[in-house]
Amino acid sequence: MSHEHTGGRHDSVRPDTLAVTAGRPAKVVDAPFSQPVVFASTYVGAPDPQHTLGYGRYGNPTWSALEEAIGALEGGQALIYSSGMTAAYAALELLPRGGTIVLPGNCYLGVASAVDERVESDGVTVRRVDVADTAAVLAAAADADLVWLESPTNPTMEVADLPALGAALTDRVTLVVDNTFATPLLQRPLELGAHVVLHSATKFIGGHSDALLGALVCRPGDPRFDRLLASRSHRGGVPGPMEAYLVLRGLRTLAVRLDRAQANAQVLAERLSAHRAVRAIRYPGLPTDPAHELAGRTMAGYGAMIAIELADAAKADATVERLRLWVHATSLGGVESSLERRRRWAGELPSVPEGLLRLSVGIENVEDLWADLAQALDGLD
C-alpha cells in the first residue's frame, strides 16, 4: 500500500483546515482515511538506499504524516523528535563552538539549562534580553550567531515584535522561535523571518497530555534542514510511532480546542485582573497588558496561557492546594486546565516571581473553572 501523503496541495486552504487535512494518505479506494500507526524498526531495502526508508532511525510513515501536517501549518519542512527538549538541543547544535547566543531573560528553564551546558562545554557567550524590547534584541544580536526567541515567553508572557525582528535579522543571524504557546494557528514565524521554529508538540499540538514529542520546522530549501535531518538520523532522537500517531490525532482538533481555550482564558483573565488576591496578571488579551497592542497587531489571537502573581510563594502554594478542578501539573496545553508555581523548581530563573502561577486554560466550562479559582483565591484572606 502506498504511503504517499497530500504534500504540496495546501496553498489554497487556511491553517485551521490544514490541521484537519494535511498529512492524510492518498485517496485510494479502500485505503485508510487516516494515516495508521506503523510499528517497524527495519524496512525492505532496494539497491539505491536514497529512495528507501532503510531503518527506523531514518524514517517512518507515521512520522512522515505528522511532519507533513506540522510543516504545512508552519509553511515549511518539519522534523519531529522524541520530546520538545530533544528538538531544542538539536536546534542549539546550530550554534557554533565559541559562538554567541541571544536568549530571552525569561524563558523555559530547560532551554536556559541547555544553553548553560554549552557555556561550560563549548565556551558559548550568552546575552540575555527582554524580548519585548526590540531595540535591545537588535543590539544584542549585532554580532551574534543565533537569536533564540519565545513569544509569548514561558512563563512570564512577554511578546516579541516578530515581524520587526525577523525583517532585521533574517539575513544576519540564525533566528529560532519557540512557537509552542502561540501555535501556528496564531502566528507563523517562518513567514516573519525566522529560520527555525520549535514546538513542544507535547503541549497544544498534541493537546491530550498523553504523548511526548518535539518538532523543528525550517523554510523549504534551507540548508539548516539537511543539517538537522542528518543529526537526527545519526543520533536517533526520534519519536516512537505511537507517539507520532497520538500527536497527529490530537492535531486534528487543534483549532476547535484553541478556540474554546482562548475564549475561556479571556474570561478568566478579566475576572482574575479584578481579584484582590492577584497582584499582577500577564495576558495579552487584556487592554492593560503591556503586550496587548503588539499581540493584537502580530498574532491571530491571544492564546490560552495566563500568568498571575500572588503575594508570595506561600499564598501561591495555598491556592494550588485549595483547587479541586484545576490540575497541578508541570506541563501545559492539554484539554484540561492546569497550573503551576514555577519557582518551586530549583532551576527556575530568579527573575520569575516566587508567587507567580502559570495557568494553562483548558476547554472545560468557564464558569466551573472560575468557581474553582475564585474559591481558592478567596480562601487566602
Q: Is residue 8 part of a domain?
A: no
The torsion angle over the Cα atoms of residues 148, 125, 91 and 250, rounded to 10 degrees, is: -50
Dump pLDDT digits (tens) for 295-326.
999 999 999 999 999 999 999 999 999 999 99
- What share of the chain in percent tops pLDDT 90? 91
Q: Is residue 6 part of a domain?
A: no
Q: Tell whether 266 and 242 lie within a shared domain.
A: no
Examine the pLDDT at 245 and tell me if it is beyond 80: yes
In terms of phi and psi (left: phi > 0; alpha: psi -120 to 50; beta: otherwise), the region of 244 is: alpha
- What pLDDT score does 7 carry? 45
Last residue of a domain, one of 202, 225, 251: 251
Q: Tell whether 199 and 304 lie within a shared domain.
A: no
Q: Tell whether 202 and 55 lie within a shared domain.
A: yes
Q: Tell whether 298 and 247 lie within a shared domain.
A: no
Q: Is residue 2 part of a domain?
A: no
- What pLDDT score does 50 carry? 72
Q: Is residue 10 part of a domain?
A: no
Q: Tell whether 214 and 308 lie within a shared domain.
A: no
Examine the pLDDT at 8 and tell me if it is beyond 70: no
Q: Tell whether 210 and 336 lie within a shared domain.
A: no
Q: Tell whether 121 and 263 lie within a shared domain.
A: no
* Rounded alpha-carbon distances, angstroms, from residue 82 to 71, 163, 334: 17, 30, 18
Read off the pLDDT of each residue in 38-45 and give the average, rounded to a whole number: 92
Listed in sequence order, the residues at least 6 apart from 351 whose beta carbon sits closer than 8 Å to its beta carbon are: 105, 106, 156
Examine the pLDDT at 4 and tell me if it is beyond 50: no
Read off the pLDDT of each residue in 176-189 and give the average, rounded to a whole number: 98
Q: Tell whether 129 and 237 lie within a shared domain.
A: yes
Q: Is residue 20 part of a domain?
A: yes
* Rounded alpha-carbon distances, angstroms, from residue 245 to 211, 218, 239, 249: 9, 22, 10, 6
Mean pLDDT of the chain: 95
Neighbours of 109 (CB within 10 A): 17
Q: Tell whether 195 and 271 lie within a shared domain.
A: no
Q: Is residue 3 part of a domain?
A: no
Q: Tell whether 287 and 241 lie within a shared domain.
A: no
Q: Is residue 30 part of a domain?
A: yes
Rounded to an integer, what distance in angstroms lies between the CA atom of residue 87 and that of residue 84? 5
Last residue of a domain, one of 220, 251, 282: 251
Rounded to an integer, what distance in angstroms lies between the CA atom of residue 216 and that of residue 147? 15
Provide the number of structural domains found in the chain: 2
Dump pLDDT digits (tens) for 62-94.
999 999 999 999 999 999 999 999 999 999 999
Q: Which residues are catalytic?
A: 57, 108, 178, 203
Read off the pLDDT of each residue in 278-287 and give the average, rounded to a whole number: 98
Examine the pLDDT at 1 and tell me if it is beyond 60: no
CATH number of the domain that 70 lies in?
3.40.640.10
Residue 9 binned pLDDT confidence (cut-offs 50, 70, 90): low
Q: Tell whether 299 and 180 lie within a shared domain.
A: no
Read off the pLDDT of each residue in 187-192 and give the average, rounded to a whole number: 98
Q: Is residue 7 part of a domain?
A: no
Q: Tell whether 277 and 176 lie within a shared domain.
A: no
Domain that holds residue 262: 254-378
CATH number of the domain that 263 lies in?
3.90.1150.10
pTM score, two decimals? 0.95
Examine the pLDDT at 154 and tell me if it is beyond 60: yes
Last residue of a domain, one of 230, 251, 272: 251
